[in-house]
Homo-oligomer: A and B are copies of this chain.
Amino acid sequence: MDIYYMNNVSVPWHRAVITVDQFARADIDEIFALAARLSVGRTMPLTGKSIVNLFYEPSTRTSSSFHAAMSRLGGSVIPINEVNYSSVTKGETLEDTIRTLESYTDAIVLRHYDEGATERAVSVASVPIINAGNGAGEHPTQALLDLYTIFKERGGIDGLNVTLMGDLKHGRTVHSLIKLLRMYDVKIRLVSPPELCLPKPYLCKGDTERINLESLIDDTDILYVTRVQKERFADELAIDISYSVTRSDMDRAKENLVLMHPLPRVGEIPTELDNDPRSAYFRQVRYGLHVRMALLVAMIGRD
């Protein structure tokens, strides 16, 4: 599914990163090779270039990652945070904001609370747009960095048993990652309380669903744990989710398990596991930097 259609027109990811649906395995190979190359040495191929970080929702984590990526590449960042409280808008439409800002920059990294925002931005923009989270929609650069983490930690993706645990219902990160994983020969296993299980559209025949980790930990290669994103619940749900990985789980797990988490964590992984070499969640942050560097170079590095 390497071509993404918007109003029946395909949008190549070099022009706009909207959804993981735009990436074929060959694209991912290209991005990962570039990320690995950029992670060493300090070339600055984006000197003189700039991006706008246009965040309608705050996300210091993601905006900092793009900021750091751009800085490492020699470029600069125009940060526009919490747009609604600022003067960008004064009642202005997203489309007009995009058409204004594109004069100032080589690409726009957009986070918006509205699922349709990315496509609206892309429909008017003449510079590349990168979706950095669109409401309940996608967060494709997070999914790419998650996949890159697996690739780097294990040397490949095919053949692995990937266990995803936590709130599988609301996590857009999980949904995007699962879409990417489907392109590879992996076994997907899902651990969540019934109220927070993976929505049907993302589920495939052959997936394993459980309400706890116990029967799956032994032969898991990748354990991807997610936070319950309480801020995305419509109501304050009273679901007691005490999912967490324990020392005892780790004792039973494979020697080469890779324990991942998109962060921030709020108890799903106790700090006593931080020194376990299999805990990859902080390395995951660094891999994210490299993947975003690769996307920026691929999208705006050519004149």
Residues of A within 8 A of B (CB): 42, 44, 48, 50, 52, 57-61, 64-65, 67-68, 71-72, 74, 76, 78-80, 83, 86-93, 95-96, 99-101, 103-105, 227, 231, 263-266, 271, 282, 285-286, 288-289
Q: Are B74 and A60 touching (Cβ within 8 A)? A: no
Q: Are B48 and A60 touching (Cβ within 8 A)? A: no
Q: Are A88 and B61 touching (Cβ within 8 A)? A: yes
**Cα separation A146 to B266 with both chains bound (whole Å):** 41
Report chain B residues within 8 Å CB of A90.
227, 231, 264, 266
Q: Are B64 and A71 touching (Cβ within 8 A)? A: no
Q: Taking CB as reference atom, which chain B residue is nearest A85?
A: B58
Q: Are B263 and A92 touching (Cβ within 8 A)? A: yes
Query: Which of B60, B76, B86, B103 makes the CB contact (< 8 A) with A80?
Result: B60
**Cα separation A210 to B53 with both chains bound (whole Å):** 43
Known contacts A59-B87, A90-B266: A78-B50 contact under CB 8 Å: no
Among A50, A88, A93, A100, find the residue whose CB has the most chain B CB atoms closer than 10 A: A100
Sample of 20 further A-B pairs with CB below 8 A, known A64-B104, A76-B76, A90-B227: A60-B88, A61-B87, A64-B80, A68-B103, A68-B104, A68-B105, A71-B78, A89-B264, A90-B264, A92-B263, A92-B265, A95-B271, A96-B263, A96-B264, A99-B282, A99-B285, A100-B282, A103-B285, A103-B289, A104-B285
Q: How far is the CB of A259 from chain B (nearest CB, A)?
A: 15
User: For the complex formed by this chain, how many copies does it contain in all?
Assistant: 3
Known contacts A42-B48, A48-B42, A58-B87: A65-B104 contact under CB 8 Å: yes
Q: Taking CB as reference atom, which chain B residue is nearest A227?
A: B90
Report chain B residues within 8 Å CB of A265.
92, 96
Q: Are B48 and A92 touching (Cβ within 8 A)? A: no
**Cα separation A88 to B61 with both chains bound (whole Å):** 6
Q: Taking CB as reference atom, which chain B residue is nearest A231?
A: B90
Report chain B residues within 8 Å CB of A76.
71, 76
Nearest first, the 5 closest Cβ-Cβ pairs linking A and B are A68-B104, A92-B264, A103-B286, A71-B76, A60-B88
Report chain B residues within 8 Å CB of A58.
86-87
Report chain B residues within 8 Å CB of A78.
64, 67-68, 71
Report chain B residues within 8 Å CB of A103.
68, 282, 285-286, 288-289
**Cα separation A285 to B105 with both chains bound (whole Å):** 12
Report chain B residues within 8 Å CB of A288.
103
Q: How far is the CB of A91 from chain B (nearest CB, A)?
A: 5
